[in-house]
Amino acid sequence: MALAFMRRHKKWLTIFLWMTIPAMIVAFVALYIPTEDARAGNPGGVLAEVGGLPITLGEYQRAYRRQRERYEQMAQGRLDPEMLERLGVKEQTLQSLVEEKLIALEAHRLGLTIDDETLAREIATSPALQENGRFLGAAEVRRRLELRGISEQEFQESMRADLLGQRLLGVVTDGVTVSPAEVEREFRRRNEQVKVEYVLADAPADAAAAAPTDAEAAARFQAKPEAYRFPEKRVVSYVLVDPQALQSRVTVTEADLASYHREHKSEFRTPEETCASHILVKVKPTPEAKEGHTDEEAKKLAQAALDQVKGSADFATVARKVSEDKGSGARGGDLSCFGRGRMVPEFDNVAFSLPVGQTSDLVKTNFGYHIIHVNSRNEEQDPPLSQVKERIRGTLMAQKTQSLAVSQAQQVTAALARGRSLEEAAREPGLTVQKSAPLARGAVEPPLDSPALIARVFDLKAGETAKEGFAVSGGSAFMALSEIQPSRVPALSEVQAQVKADITKERAAERARQRAVDLRARAEKDGLEKAAAAMGLVRKETPTPVGRGLALGDLGASQALEQVAYELPVGTLSEPIRVGAGYAVLRVMEKKAFDPAVFDKEKDAVAAGLRETRKQQLFRAYMTQARQRFPVERRADLDQVIG
């Protein structure tokens, strides 16, 4: 279920994870502070630069681990590498780090800072670092950080960056307002609904019999020649540096495989995992909380469950009855397998120290009281070269072909910078100059599927060579403008098929409109269903009331359709309305209309939600501009480095 939800809502999960400013301390301290194995690798290796600020391999590894664990939690542990790949977690992680650097650069540009006094106050007053309304204390915070292998300085830097992001968000969005008219419009969108019956009248089946003649096509073309004008097009000579095409020119030796395996053993290591089940009785985080029990009550309930388990009751059966962890409780408490650092420290320590097959005593965490049963344990393993050889071969092939492609692209760039022609620049690395089909402004098609390249094509003069290369799906491309085909009105013979198609479409639409007029006239006397049946059409209705902005059955959604549906009195037939497949006649069966009294009560909440949405939209637009101010430079072999 969890994986299906994530597939359906991938877009919104992505927006949620990256629209918000980094999560506050509770998640950071309890779950996401990286352990030592996440910090493995070369922290000094630079993957990308944002306005001169580096993103290191170490930073990426830590961020990727946190992001992966977020998805794993949502998937309740049932998340495989293929699913991570489909969700695009690697690129999401990189983009989040780019965003962090952009925020830092923008904050510096605007003179925004977080002083030590503000930082200390935020740490001391954060609800996540308090118990019973009091600050945990520096020693306890330090202890929790040490359990996760992170220094106080790293924690403070993360907190400072988080606060700086919030301050930048405030500065950028402070002036966001919404008008009363916008609030009312949003309230109507959320609350107004209609239920309609409708009939779609399309063109009759004999429409093809009225196909236009050549004379009719000629008359239409002579009357509207500009409607068929060809836009300006350009033809370029281009050189494509494609890593895939270079695979035959590289080899991976047995020595290469052994060397990579020896130097990157940690990449293939399977970390120690514990496979466990648990029973959780929750403790209320605050006295006012609706979920959970007092500490004393929770402890008694948990102890009673433990007594049942110790008395030979089936652990899974007790978990289904008692556990208040909704996710695992339904599975008999099964948490599947997890590595060190996935759980809070108190839980982690017991789960990894308890012998297989044993059940713990009560374990207290911030969530409540747990009873932990260890089902099995997977020891840390370093697979031999024979098991990972083909995986390494693929990695090295990709690295070598990418390296060769980068070298060739650099050769072409250098030659063009020296004033060489495109043909001369291509000759040294052994590349081939090709000729494109005529390219239209804004039209992007492989292999030259780069909007930046197409835009540059229309900046060049005839015979001019672009000095820079462009990233395309096949690698990188270099080009020179060979030919300009001016905009022109074509001969009829070139567009005759299109002219006839336009005439046929217009005639079909007119026949559909007339059919809808006849339908409405019949429906006024006999009702919509009888009128439709008499004309061989089908009456349909929306099964439930539909809100603004949503599709009205298979008529789809359009502003014209919505306006008619919401303005039409209940029980009244509409005039024929143009929709994609023809003309529709509809009747409103039920209507939830605008309620001024309810609006008066809810308008403040609607306004607040609308302002928050506007703030997020404004901030995203602002960060898009920031990307233009501070260029992002990715290393050529980035995809191979991050695997």
d(Cα 551, Cα 547) in Å, to the nearest integer? Answer: 9
Q: Using the 8-state DSSP alphabet, how is residue 591 labeled?
A: E
Q: Could you identify the residue written with the tokens 């590289």? A: 250
Can you read off the two tokens belonging to residue 170?
């405030």
Instruction: Report the distance separating Cα 226 and Cα 499, nearest Å.
Output: 12
Q: Per residue in 412-437, pLDDT tens?
A: 999 999 999 999 999 989 999 999 99
User: Tokens 């400013």 label which residue?
Assistant: 21
Q: How far apart, in whole angstroms, are the C-alpha atoms of residue 221 and residue 503?
A: 10
Contacts of 172 (CB under 8 A, 6+ apart): 618, 619, 622
Query: In the structure encoding, which two tokens stand for residue 212, read together?
Result: 């236009």
Alpha-carbon span 91 to 99, nearest angstrom? 12
pLDDT digits (tens, 9 = 90+) for 36-78: 333 333 434 788 889 889 988 888 888 888 787 777 766 655 6
For the chain, helix, strand, coil in percent to 5 are 55, 15, 30
- Residue 17 above 70 pLDDT? no
Q: How many other CB atoms are found less than 10 A from the CB of residue 335?
A: 23
268 versus 200: the higher-pLDDT residue is 200
Report the side by side order of strands in the sheet with 273-282.
334-339, 273-282, 368-378, 363-364
Which is higher by pLDDT, 337 or 28?
Answer: 337
Q: What is the residue-averaged pLDDT of the chain?
A: 86
Which pairing describes strands 193-201 and 539-541: parallel, antiparallel, or unpaired? antiparallel
528 — pLDDT class (breaks 50, 70, 90): very high
**Contacting residues for 326 by C-beta, under 8 A, at least 6 apart:** none
- Under DSSP, the state recorded for 549 is T
Pick the CATH number of 233-257+389-485 from 1.10.10, 3.30.70, 1.20.1630, 3.10.50: 3.10.50
Give the fold, CATH level 3, of 2-175+628-641. Answer: Triger factor/SurA peptide-binding fold (1.10.4030)
In the structure, what pLDDT confidence band is assigned to residue 1 with cuts at 50, 70 and 90?
Answer: very low
The two structure tokens encoding residue 591: 């209507």
Which residue reads 């998640």 in tokens?
A: 27
Give the Å distances, CA to CA, from 286 to 344, 345, 346, 364.
19, 21, 20, 16
C-alpha–C-alpha distance, residues 319 and 307, integer Å: 13
How far apart CA 553 and CA 562 sit, in angstroms, is 12
253 Cα distance to chain centroid: 39
Which residue from 185, 189, 194 is spatially nearest to 549, judged by alpha carbons?
Answer: 189
CA 556 from centre of chain: 25
For residue 618, the one-letter residue type is: L
pLDDT of residue 34 exceeding 70, the answer is no
| Predicted local distance difference test score (pLDDT) of residue 144 | 78
- State the DSSP H helix or E strand holding residue 16, giving kind and residue range, or none if neither: helix 10-19
What is residue 285's predicted lDDT score, i.e. its pLDDT?
84
Instruction: Report, at the CATH architecture level, how domain 194-203+492-592 is classified.
Output: Roll (3.10)
Q: Residue 384 belongs to what H/E stretch? A: none
Q: What is the mean pLDDT of residues 236-257?
A: 93
What pLDDT score was predicted for residue 265?
87
pLDDT score for 242: 92
Residue 614 pLDDT grade (very low, low, confident, very high; cuts 50, 70, 90):
very high
Give the whole-angstrom CA distance, residue 347 versus residue 363.
7
Q: Which residues pair with 274 in a beta bridge?
A: 338, 377
Retrieve residue 92's tokens.
Answer: 């999401």
Give yes or no for residue 210 having a pLDDT over 80: no
**What is the pLDDT, as a whole number, of residue 7?**
37
Three-state DSSP class for residue 170: helix
Please give the helix or strand (H or E) that residue 587 lies within, else none.
strand 582-592
Say if CB 508 and CB 262 are below 8 A apart: no
Please tell me if the domain spanning 233-257+389-485 has the same topology as the one spanning 270-378. Answer: yes
Backbone angles phi, psi at 635, to 5 degrees: -70, 150
- Predicted pLDDT at 211: 83
The three state secondary structure string of 62-89 is HHHHHHHHHHHHHCCCCCCHHHHHHHCH
Q: What is the largest CA-CA distance in the chain?
A: 95
Q: List 591's β-bridge partners, or say none.
A: 194
Give one DSSP letter per residue of 407-419, joined into a string. HHHHHHHHHHHTT
Q: Does 586 have pLDDT greater than 50?
A: yes
**pLDDT tens-place string over residues 146-181:** 776 677 887 888 888 889 999 999 999 999 999 999
| Domain boundaries along the sequence of the chain | 2-175+628-641, 194-203+492-592, 233-257+389-485, 270-378
Check residue 10 and give its pLDDT: 37
pLDDT value of residue 639:
67
Tallying the residues shown for the chain, one arrives at 643
Q: Which amino acid would we find at residue 162?
A: D
Domain 270-378: give its CATH code: 3.10.50.40
Does residue 643 have a pLDDT over 90? no
Per the rule left: phi > 0, alpha: psi between -120 and 50, beta: everything else, 528 is: alpha
Strand ranges inside 468-581, DSSP E: 470-472, 475-485, 539-541, 546-547, 577-579
Look up residue 541 and give its amino acid: E
Contact criterion met (CB below 8 Å) for 293 and 254: no
Determine the 3-state secondary structure of 364 from DSSP.
strand
User: Residue 453: its pLDDT value, please?
Assistant: 93
**What does the pLDDT average to over 365-376?**
94
